[in-house]
Every structure is written in structure tokens, then in C-alpha cells.
Amino acid sequence: MSILSMCLILLLLVPVAAVANEECANATRIQGSDPFVDNGSTFQASEIGQGNPAANCSFIAASTRGAWYLLQGDDRCYTASTEGSLFDTILAVYSTTAGCEGLSCVRQNDDGDSGTTSEVSFTTTTGVDYYILVAGYSNRTGEYTLTVTVRCDIWLLVCCKTASRLP
Ligand SMILES: [Ca+2]
């Protein structure tokens, strides 16, 4: 057996590091501290796939690979940002009362205020789940930082008027 063959066999035997939250059903729950900060990589994530309800955000394609987060609505406004990420990200936010099959696009953003990372603000309703997808522009993947902050509790009405507009 050649060295090349042995290397190939070894490569096949080494398990590929899966992305734990690459599917909506396995979304990482956003809870605890404000801001909520999480780091990850979409490099090994699988493609969203044809017919996926996530595609009703127009920036998301069947070939999109990303990481999912779940925020339970509480009538407050939130801002999600990928500032600090190491690649050209996209953020998509969905609302649902029927889990991952009932996704409805709330807001999406490609480039926020700082370069090619993304930022979205949105208002939430108690009893509604909000799924946030961290993905890449034109199917790019890489290492990301997601920061979710509660936004303007005191000025809720003003914030929500601004945040409820689709981009
Ligand atoms: Ca971008």
C-alpha cells in the first residue's frame, strides 16, 4: 500500500467535525446574558437544501450553509450582529409558531454598518419563536461571531417602528 493510499484511508476514517446547529431543528437557544455572544464556524455545515422553508428569505438559497439560533419572543426588540466575523456574512430572521416548518421571513441583511458583516433589528411577540440563521454571502462559509442584544426597552415603540421594516 502506498503512502498516498494510507493517507486517503486515514482521511476517510477521521470523523468530520459536524456543526451542531447546522439545522433549524437543532438551533442553539439564545438565553442568559445580554448581550448573548456565540462563536462558531459554518465551514462544515450542510446545505439548506431544495424546498427548505428558510428560502423564503430571498438571500437564502438551497446551497446556503449556516448555523441556526432560536430566540423566544418576549415583546422586546433585539439586534443581531455578526460584527467580528471572519467572512462575508448574511443574517436572516424568521418567525414561527409552528416550528421549523412554519418559518416566515421577518428580516434579512447582507452588509451592516461595518464592512461585510451583517446586522438586523426586529421586534418580538410573546408566544412566537424567532429563528436566526447565520450564513454567508454567495455560499461563503467561515468563522463567525453572533451577538444578540436587547434593544431599547424604554423606547420600545420607536425601536419597533424602525425595526419592523423589511430591508
Ligand atoms: Ca455580507
**Predicted pLDDT of residue 162:** 45
Beta-bridge partners for 71: 130
3-class SS at 105? Answer: strand
Assess contact for 118 and 167: CB atoms under 8 A. no
**Predicted pLDDT of residue 152:** 61
Q: Which residues surround ligand 1, an ion (CB under 5 A)?
A: 88, 110-111, 116, 137
What DSSP character marks residue 89?
E
Dist. CA 118 → ligand 1 center (Å): 6
Q: How far apart are CA 164 and CA 145, in angstroms?
A: 24
Name the grid cell of 121.
433589528
**Predicted pLDDT of residue 113:** 74
Polymer length of the chain? 167
**Predicted pLDDT of residue 143:** 98
**Predicted pLDDT of residue 165:** 39
Assess contact for 60 and 133: CB atoms under 8 A. yes
**Predicted pLDDT of residue 68:** 98
Dist. CA 100 → ligand 1 center (Å): 24
The domains found in the chain, sorted by start residue, are: 18-163 (2.60.120.380)
Residue tagged 436587547 (cell numbers): 150
Residues 42, 48, 52: CA angle, nearest 5 degrees: 150
Q: Which of 94, 90, 148 is nearest to 117 (CA)?
A: 90
Dist. CA 83 → ligand 1 center (Å): 10
**Predicted pLDDT of residue 12:** 53
Residue-by-residue DSSP string for 26-86: GPEE--SSSSEEEEEE-TTPPB--TT-GGGGSTT--TT-B-EEEEEE--S-EEEEE-TT-S
pLDDT tens track, the chain, 167 positions: 666 565 555 555 555 568 999 999 999 999 988 899 999 999 999 999 999 999 999 999 999 999 999 999 988 889 999 999 999 999 999 999 999 999 999 999 999 977 999 999 898 999 999 999 999 999 999 999 999 998 765 555 545 444 443 33
Q: What is the amino acid identity at position 34? A: D
Q: In what order do the strands lie in the sheet with 119-123?
A: 36-41, 143-151, 77-81, 119-123
